[in-house]
Amino acid sequence: MTEDKIVKLFKDKGLGEVRLPILPVSGGFMHRMYKVDTGAASYAVKQLNPNIMKRPDAMDNMRQAEALEAELEKAGIPIVPALILGGKKMQTLKGDHFYVFQWQEGAVTDPHHISAEQCRMAGQIQGRIHAISPKRIPKEMPEMSAIRWSGLIKEAEAANPGLGKLLKENEDLLLYAEGELNRARAALPEIECIVDEDMDPKNVMWHGGEPKVIDLECLERGNPVSGVLQLSLQWAGSTIGDLDLSKLKAFFDGYLEAYDNGFRDYCSVFGLAYTWVEWLEYNIRRALGECADEKERELGLSETELTISRIQYLRGREKEIRQALKGWFGQGNSTG
């Protein structure tokens, strides 16, 4: 039982006696979060998704993220880092993996009420992260998305007819989105830096008008252009179907205040916005039973429906957004 494991973990690491009950915290789509009080202090505890941790590269990815988190902390980026307990950040107990954090006061912003100034500040943080250790890299073919949509749809039709029908109705859209994503990836400049493509609004806490970035397990080295385009769209409202171009511009303004690699052809790489297809595949598989429990399966189904609606929305506004990016930065074309 998770509660028993957390109680033991706190005792073993000298954090104090846990005051029950341990309260679940909403917000995470992959892992589970809990608020834990000891009387002396409050903590956030993240229980890592066991299915993700079974992946062959999971531990290496987590170790890389931990090392990069330390670089962000050293650079003064406003983050909430995992605590080091017993000489390490990740805590393992009876097959489960945990991270412990000091409890962060504040709240994420309602996605319907994000201000242009918050977008500018978020863009600036992203720019500061990208500016830590950028470097030019040799030209090579990037990893492409290769989702077997026809097979996945047939599997869904057999297991969940409603889900199968939804996917079949959107098959052409999904093939288009994946194709545009791959074309954009092939056009990325040869730059690599620390990236946090998970720094969307739900992963930034605000307290007294000041932001702090949470949920840093996705830190890696990657292409800054991909990260800034995806995050600018999310902060501007694409995920709620209410994108504000002035907020999109504010994010880029903040970003360029902190870091400028010289790239301007954002119009031609709009397809990076369709990275959602990979999140969609992950959630379809959760909806089909590749998950820890029924609660996660239901989450997979709801996220599948929501992600398809986001892809539909982006496709509907693609030409307009491309034209705006071309107007601000030039180059590329505005077809779509």
- Give the domains, in start order, of the chain with CATH numbers: 2-102 (3.30.200.20), 111-329 (3.90.1200)
- Assess whether pLDDT exceeds 80 at residue 92: yes
| Distance separating alpha carbons of residues 146 and 313, to the nearest angstrom | 22
pTM: 0.91
- Assess whether pLDDT exceeds 50 at residue 334: no
User: What is the per-residue burial (b if ≥16 Cβ within 10 Å, else e) of 173-195?
Assistant: bbebbbebbbbbbeebbebbbbb
Residue 27: pLDDT band by 50, 70, 90 thresholds?
low
162-173: per-residue pLDDT in tens?
999 999 999 999
- Assess whether pLDDT exceeds 80 at residue 30: no
| Distance separating alpha carbons of residues 250 and 324, to the nearest angstrom | 13
- Coil, helix or strand at residue 97: strand
119 by Cβ neighbours in 10 Å (0-12 / 13-18 / 19+) ranks as buried
- The residues facing 207 across adjacent strands are 210
185-226: per-residue pLDDT in tens?
999 999 999 999 999 999 999 999 999 999 999 999 999 999
293-306: per-residue pLDDT in tens?
999 999 999 999 99
Residue 331: pLDDT band by 50, 70, 90 thresholds?
low
CB 6 within 8 A of CB 98: yes
- Assess whether pLDDT exceeds 80 at residue 332: no
pLDDT for 28 equals 61
Mean pLDDT for the stretch of residues 87-114: 93
Q: What is the largest distance, in Å, between two alpha-carbon atoms of the chain?
A: 61
| Distance separating alpha carbons of residues 155 and 161, to the nearest angstrom | 10
Mean pLDDT for the stretch of residues 248-273: 97
107: closest CA among 47, 216, 46, 27? 27
pLDDT for 265 equals 95
Residue 336: pLDDT band by 50, 70, 90 thresholds?
very low
Place of tokens 């863009």: 123
Task: Kindly state the tokens that stand for 292.
Answer: 């820890």
- In the chain, the percentage of residues whose pLDDT exceeds 90 is 88
Residue 29: pLDDT band by 50, 70, 90 thresholds?
low
Q: Which residue has the higher pLDDT, 331 or 100?
A: 100
